[in-house]
Amino acid sequence: MQDIFDYIDQHATECVERLRALCRQPSIAAQNVGMAETAEMVVALLKQIGAEGQVLPTAGFPVVYGALPGASLKALSFYDHYDVQPPEPLELWHSEPFAAEVRDGRIWARGVADNKGNLVARICAVEAFQNVRGELPLNVKFIVEGEEEIGSPNLPAFAEAHAGLLAADGCIWEAGYKDTQGRPEIYLGVKGILYVELRTSGANIDLHSSWASVVPNPVWRLIWALNSLKDSAERILIPGFYDPVREPTPAELEALERMGFDEAGQLTQLDLPQFLGGLRGAPLLVKHIFQPTCNVCGISGGYEGPGSKTVLPNRAMAKLDFRLVPDQDPHQVYEQLRGHLDAQGFGDIEIEVLGPEYPARTAMDDPLVDVVVETARDVYGVEPVVYPLTPGTGPMFELCQKFGIPAVSTGVGNAESNNHAPNENIVIEDFIQGIKHIAKIMASFGAT
């Protein structure tokens, strides 16, 4: 592989600039900003490496698809997404989120870690293979969706309609991050999610707060409703919520032990005295990896500006995400949530479902897992960390498990990549290593 690695090193600057160009194009699905333009840019990138890039429509933002033939009969697919999280709060960024500034050996941009850096790394790996060897070691497919950050609402229907295009012997999933000790993390599954927005209302307009004596305040109702969902010991109070949660197997618990999670390093990085409830060691990891969550992503109501305004708000809103684990079902959780709020006297609280996704998991003894772990060990020169399940979410179930395709996630991020947060970034050296890792995965999986 040294010939290909040399080629990648020689063309590092081109790869970085290709990535920066893609990052300079905003693509915020939640706000419908720049989506069509970005899909076209991805098509152009795929055409540059000889794939016939196609924009495949969905009921929402399209999926970009491209396939390339290779030497073996095997097919490896890459799942990525061209949409990014909203960049807010803007004032906390040290450089413009869509400027893709290079600083301190890193590229700083919304979406550079999640997930444009990985998409471009995979494209660059394919290109390197082609230019050095003349052909790819196996068939390659790119599946690049535009709605990952809003819960992939149209991907299930897309996958049903295009099962043939998706068929593969294995899938390299969207992303991976080095941990605080610099070890690449590899994920074999994802949590599911139920993302909802709760809305309450009171009088028909905001009122002078002197009316608070006798007029209902929707913010209070929202607080009481939320309080009924989870207690201050972090126990989720929705009846039946925990019932389908599968306990980790001994093999999975063993994988947790091998993770060598750097508690102190992580706490220092987040500037926290301790994790939730003072958890440490195995119980901390079991909760992080194998337990569902109920998180408030955002809350809003009334006057939020500087100083004081004595107002009785007439509307309030909260956005919640429940991260789900096998075998929880997001649709069932929605029913449980609705039933619970109704039973607690909050029938007036409106729930909008913004994204249900199933949890998914690839078996720890799948051959693709070995390929990704061994090549990572070789390229990065350290033992990678295998997560049986990542606490994050993605449509792995709909694209892979549903069709019996094993999926493993790896990528170019770092422990301070700040994805979904201000100052998202990747280290350029990680990006180059990531390209090499993908090249080696192709070679190795093609040879199995």
Q: Which of 1, 95, 167, 220 binds its own copies (CB under 8 A)?
A: 220
Name which of residues 347 to 366 contact its own copies (CB under 8 A): 354-355
Cβ 279 to its own copies shortest distance, Å: 6
- How far apart (Å, rounded) are the C-alpha atoms in residues 130 and 140? 12
Verify binding: residue 17, its own copies, rule CB under 8 A.
Answer: no
Cβ 265 to its own copies shortest distance, Å: 14
Cβ 342 to its own copies shortest distance, Å: 15
The answer to whether 389 touches 153, Cβ cutoff 8 Å, is no
Candidates 38-46, 225-233, 332-340, 432-440: pick the segment binding its own copies (CB under 8 A).
225-233
| Cβ-count burial 41-77 (b if 16+ within 10 Å, e if not) | bbbebbeebebebebeebebbbbbbbbbebebebbbb
Contact map string, positions 143 to 172, toward its own copies, x by CB under 8 A: ------xxx---------------------
Select 311 or 364, whichever has its Cβ closest to its own copies: 311
The answer to whether 165 touches 102, Cβ cutoff 8 Å, is no
- How far apart (Å, rounded) are the C-alpha atoms in residues 94 and 92? 6
Name which of residues 127 to 146 contact its own copies (CB under 8 A): none
Name which of residues 299 to 338 contact its own copies (CB under 8 A): 299-313, 316-317, 319, 321, 323
Name which of residues 49 to 68 contact its own copies (CB under 8 A): none
The answer to whether 56 touches 63, Cβ cutoff 8 Å, is yes
Select 208 or 246, whichever has its Cβ closest to its own copies: 208
CA pseudo-torsion sign 37, 39, 45, 46: negative
Contact map string, positions 255 to 294, toward its own copies, x by CB under 8 A: ---------------xxx--xx--x----x--xx--x-xx
Cβ 207 to its own copies shortest distance, Å: 6
Helix 12-24 × helix 117-133 angle, to 10°: 140
Q: Which amino acid is at 248?
A: P
Name which of residues 407 to 436 contact its own copies (CB under 8 A): 418-423
Where do we find the tokens 């350029």? 428
Structure token digits, residue 144: 């690049």
